[in-house]
């Protein structure tokens, strides 16, 4: 007991002295774990249909769309002001919105309350960008992969534990579906406390980091005076929004991964929102559903894959598009099977691997985007990407599932989602083919024949000799000295070096990501980008969407 008290005292002393970095990674990982223990999620549709007496038509057409619409509306102010207000308010909004959603599920049953609850759930989801940005502000770029993997693994572990607990309680008849929602509500109350314990971000530290980065830049550019008050800091960040946006999305690498990230998130949100409805149509009412085991299986598999991607570095600059094509194609196949089969076990199989691949690839996409960032506006880039995803999701909701649109049955809607994944695969396949064609065209243009190279070298030698002769003829020197001078100039002419220099210059013009004869480390090009440390000095990365 004495050792425990000493440990608590030491932690308190370190926190009081502002030395959060000593134990901040552990705090982030634990927070990631506890806030994702969503015991009720595997049986949410069962609870809403059997305990709240809400029909599938009411849920799909009148309640679930409020999530998508609220999420879209909330995203704009959130991604605009997350960096300005230093992340912590956005984190509070996320966890409190989730708590309010669970409160509506546990203590209210009417349609209006559920609509409000799902709207708050949407606001909570939009607020995830605060946590995305927070983690990349605390740590250096060379730690992004490690911390992202640890945090994502903690999230998956929390979900795995919650889902297994839910399945055990249902199979053992220890509790019912309402019990699961009550447990989830009280766990979220504890998560709010841990969110409060996370250290806040100081705008002064942000300004200090900006000054340090400006001093490192090898530029004669004259920078504007740094802010000296919080008001000046807010105005400074507002002025930077436009320039940061242009700088970030001028990078084709970020643009490519952001596009895939937005499309994948859009599809995943729709699948996650309606998957249990489709499963419920196949499951017999008196069966013991295994939804908890299915969710636990995908989180466990995703955790293993995420840790493996950290252990075995891959050159994503080179192989990224190929992997995206493969994963998107598999996702399309899984969703097509999931929508058409009547075998609940085949549905579980497709569901598990679809969600596993998503969690792994969204983690990879996330830190690939972050490592290429050339500004500290992490909230801006993830907010814009998420906003695009939500715009697409809202359009899908209006057109496909909303009763005011086509109002498709859930099976037909999943076929649409499968087709959109196939479209993603096709787009990146076209990009790969274009890159390969461009590579060989450039290779043909910049690689001269040996004969041409030798002729060029000889021409260069002749020009140097001619210039030397002219200089000698103009000099007031004896003839013997002039011959000696010319001989010296000839010795300095190196045909091979001329050829080598030409070859080196030409090889540089070929994009490194198209050079499939090498297998450089995936971070080999990071030095080409100006790096900046984010303004944050604290917090949490909660990267999985709660509805995912």
User: For the chain, how are helix, strand and coil distributed in percent, rounded to 5?
Assistant: 75, 0, 25
pLDDT at 291 over 50: yes
Q: Give whichever of 187-201, 304-318, 336-350 has the largest mean pLDDT.
A: 336-350
pLDDT attached to residue 467:
57
Per-residue model confidence as pLDDT tens digits over 330-376: 999 999 999 888 888 899 999 999 988 888 888 788 777 877 776 66
Query: Distance between CA 332 and CA 414 in Å, rounded?
Result: 10
Mean pLDDT of 495-512: 41
pLDDT attached to residue 184:
93
Residue-wise DSSP of 174-241: SS-HHHHHHHHHHHHHHHHHHHHHSPPPPHHHHHHHHHHHHHHS---PPPPPPPSSHHHHHHHHHHHH
Mean pLDDT of 26-36: 84
pLDDT attached to residue 9:
55
Take residue 521 and report the two structure tokens written for it: 């480390």
Q: pLDDT-based confidence at 426, cuts 50/70/90?
A: very high
pLDDT attached to residue 19:
55
Mean pLDDT of 392-419: 84
Query: Distance between CA 270 and CA 287 in Å, rounded?
Result: 26
Q: pLDDT-based confidence at 52, cuts 50/70/90?
A: confident
Per mean pLDDT, which range of 66-70, 81-85, 205-209, 512-516 is the poorest? 512-516
Q: How many CA atoms lie within 13 A of 347 on its CB side?
A: 22
pLDDT at 513 over 50: no
DSSP state of 221: P
Query: Distance between CA 158 and CA 179 in Å, rounded?
Result: 18
Residue with more model confidence, 476 or 86: 86
Q: Give whichever of 96-105, 133-142, 277-286 has the largest mean pLDDT.
A: 96-105
- In the chain, the N- to C-terminal Cα span, in Å, equals 41
Q: pLDDT-based confidence at 97, cuts 50/70/90?
A: very high
Q: Which of 389, 381, 392 is nearest to 132 (CA)?
A: 381
Per mean pLDDT, which range of 119-123, 365-369, 377-381 is the poorest? 377-381
List Cβ neighbours of 359 (8 Å cut-off, separation of 6 or more).
152, 156, 298, 299, 302, 305, 306, 544, 548
pLDDT attached to residue 399:
87
Q: pLDDT-based confidence at 173, cuts 50/70/90?
A: confident
Residue with more model confidence, 186 or 283: 186
pLDDT attached to residue 330:
92
Q: Give whichever of 161-170, 208-217, 224-233, 483-492 has the largest mean pLDDT.
A: 161-170
pLDDT attached to residue 89:
87
Query: Distance between CA 376 and CA 388 in Å, rounded?
Result: 20
Per-residue model confidence as pLDDT tens digits over 6-22: 554 565 555 555 555 56
Q: pLDDT-based confidence at 475, cuts 50/70/90?
A: very low
pLDDT attached to residue 300:
85
Mean pLDDT of 285-297: 77
pLDDT attached to residue 477:
44
pLDDT attached to residue 187:
94
pLDDT attached to residue 528:
39
pLDDT at 534 over 50: no
pLDDT at 116 over 90: yes
Query: Distance between CA 248 and CA 250 in Å, rounded?
Result: 6
**Dihedral pair phi/psi, residue 469, rounded to 5°:** -65, -40
**CA 224-235-387 angle, 5° bins:** 115
pLDDT attached to residue 334:
94
């Amino acid at each position: 007991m004495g050792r425990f008290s000493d440990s608590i005292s030491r932690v308190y002393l370190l926190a009081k002295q502002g030395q959060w970095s000593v134990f901040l990674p552990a705090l982030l990982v634990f927070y990631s774990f506890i806030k994702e223990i969503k015991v009720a999620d595997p049986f949410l549709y069962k609870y809403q249909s059997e305990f709240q007496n809400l029909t599938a038509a009411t849920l799909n057409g009148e309640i679930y769309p409020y999530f998508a619409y609220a999420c879209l509306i909330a995203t704009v102010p959130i991604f605009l002001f997350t960096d300005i207000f230093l992340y912590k308010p956005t984190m509070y909004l996320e966890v409190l919105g989730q708590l309010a959603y669970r409160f509506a599920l546990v203590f209210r049953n009417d349609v209006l309350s559920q609509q409000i609850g799902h709207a708050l759930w949407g606001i909570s989801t939009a607020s995830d960008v605060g946590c995305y940005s927070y983690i990349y502000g605390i740590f250096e770029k060379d730690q992004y992969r490690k911390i992202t993997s640890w945090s994502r693994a903690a999230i998956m572990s929390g979900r795995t534990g919650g889902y297994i607990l839910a399945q055990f309680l249902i199979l053992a008849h220890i509790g019912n579906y309402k019990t699961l929602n009550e447990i989830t509500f009280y766990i979220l109350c504890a998560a709010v406390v841990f969110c409060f314990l996370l250290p806040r971000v100081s705008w002064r530290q942000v300004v200090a980091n900006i000054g340090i980065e400006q001093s490192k830049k090898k530029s004669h550019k004259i920078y504007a005076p740094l802010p000296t008050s919080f008001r000046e800091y807010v105005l400074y960040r507002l002025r930077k929004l436009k320039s940061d946006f242009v700088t970030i999305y001028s990078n084709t690498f970020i643009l490519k991964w952001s596009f895939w990230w937005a499309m994948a998130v859009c599809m995943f949100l729709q699948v996650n929102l309606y998957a249990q409805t489709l499963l419920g149509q196949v499951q017999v009412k008196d069966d013991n559903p295994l939804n908890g085991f299915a969710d636990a299986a995908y989180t466990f598999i995703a955790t293993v894959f995420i840790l493996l991607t950290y252990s075995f570095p891959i050159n994503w600059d080179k192989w990224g598009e190929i992997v995206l094509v493969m994963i998107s194609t598999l996702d399309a196949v899984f969703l097509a099977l999931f929508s058409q089969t009547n075998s609940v076990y085949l549905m579980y199989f497709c569901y598990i691997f679809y969600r596993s691949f998503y969690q792994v690839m969204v983690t990879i996409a996330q830190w690939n985007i972050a490592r290429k960032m050339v500004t500290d506006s992490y909230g801006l880039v993830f907010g814009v990407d998420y906003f695009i995803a939500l715009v697409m999701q809202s359009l899908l909701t209006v057109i496909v599932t909303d009763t005011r649109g086509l109002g498709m049955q859930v099976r037909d809607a999943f076929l649409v989602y499968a087709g959109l994944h196939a479209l993603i695969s096709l787009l990146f396949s076209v990009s790969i083919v274009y890159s390969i064609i461009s590579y060989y065209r450039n290779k043909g243009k910049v690689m001269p024949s040996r004969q041409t190279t030798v002729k060029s070298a000889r021409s260069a030698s002749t020009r140097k000799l001619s210039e030397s002769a002219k200089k000698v003829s103009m000099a007031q020197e004896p003839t013997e000295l002039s011959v000696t001078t010319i001989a010296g100039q000839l010795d300095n002419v190196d045909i091979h070096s001329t050829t080598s220099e030409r070859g080196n210059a030409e090889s540089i013009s070929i994009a490194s990501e198209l050079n499939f004869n090498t297998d450089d480390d995936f971070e080999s090009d990071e030095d080409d980008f100006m790096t900046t440390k984010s303004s944050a000095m604290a917090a949490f990365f909660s990267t999985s969407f709660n509805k995912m």
